[in-house]
Amino acid sequence: MFMAIGGLIGGTSGMLIALAIAIATNAFAYWNSDRMVLRMYGATEVDRSNAPELWGLVQELARRAELPMPRVYIMQNDQPNAFATGRDPQHAAVAVTTGLMDRLSREELVGVLAHELAHIKNRDTLIMTITATIAGAIGMLANFALFFGSSGDNRNNPLGMVGTIALVFLAPIAAGLVQMAISRSREYDADRMGAEIAGQPLWLASALERIEQSAHRVVNNDAERNPATAHMFIINPLAGQGMDNLFATHPSTGNRIARLQSMAQEMQGAAQEAPRRGPWG
């Protein structure tokens, strides 16, 4: 997509330049995108000494998931939300907002953290973080199209001025659709595995319902400034309302909750046949 946009802007030379930029952006994103995203949201790393309960929950869940202990971050943001990032489980991080910690019960927090660890275990975090970086770069490339398209020499620009203006609007939408497809396909799997890690699907279901109720009433200014990262969060952090489902970065929260409730019923049925040891005492 990056190369195609470059070709539309500047022909063959534009495509080659876009290819070079895409390779450089991918390389940068692989090594640095996790730190870049955490920096965007002003996330502060914590440990056992300054956030003992949060750190302890992550440690126990990571042990249950058979994962290395990820780094733990807190974002000073009143919107309840969370995301995971990192190129692999050995270089992973989990970030939660202060709003999430303030509004959720301990059990609901466990459900959210287990969901994020599921993303790490499924290795979703690399592709989701790189996608955010590339989508942002496509948006910038489309803006550059205005400069090149309005320059005096348009011989390498097959679109013309009208086509270039259309590209400025269509390229970010195309990148956004890719983000949405990736995010929506991975959230259901992370819900299922997260519920298995926590041992209680209804904890995550309750957390999703509570976050959904609050997320769109509390503006996340950092997310509004960096919409290319929206698909990384457990619930869409953007305040936009009334958008068609095709353009939703996340699957329907109601559908996610329904699947978790169905999973809880299946687990309850299995528990009636054999006593189940409670995962949290």
- Domain membership of residue 142 (yes or no) is yes
What is the band of 243 on the pLDDT scale with cuts at 50, 70, 90? very low
Residues annotated as catalytic are 116
DSSP letter for 47, please: -
- Domain membership of residue 144 (yes or no) is yes
What is the band of 152 on the pLDDT scale with cuts at 50, 70, 90? very low
Residue 264 has pLDDT above 70, yes or no: yes
Count of domains in the chain? 1
What is the band of 16 on the pLDDT scale with cuts at 50, 70, 90? confident
- Domain membership of residue 133 (yes or no) is yes
Q: What is the pLDDT of residue 6?
A: 73
What is the DSSP pairing of strand 82-86 with strand 92-97? antiparallel
Q: What is the mean pLDDT of residues 36-49?
A: 95
- Domain membership of residue 221 (yes or no) is yes
The interaxial angle of helices 253-273 and 201-215, nearest 10 deg, is 160
What is the band of 245 on the pLDDT scale with cuts at 50, 70, 90? very low
- Domain membership of residue 278 (yes or no) is no
- Domain membership of residue 227 (yes or no) is yes
User: Distances from the Cα of 177 to the Cαs of 32, 239, 245, 250, 252, in angstroms?
Assistant: 24, 18, 11, 11, 16
Phi, psi dihedral angles at 218 (to 5 degrees) = -110, 115
Q: What is the mean pLDDT of residues 241-249?
A: 49
What rounded mean pLDDT belongs to the chain? 82
- Domain membership of residue 172 (yes or no) is yes
Q: What is the pLDDT of residue 246?
A: 46
- Domain membership of residue 281 (yes or no) is no
Q: What is the pLDDT of residue 248?
A: 62
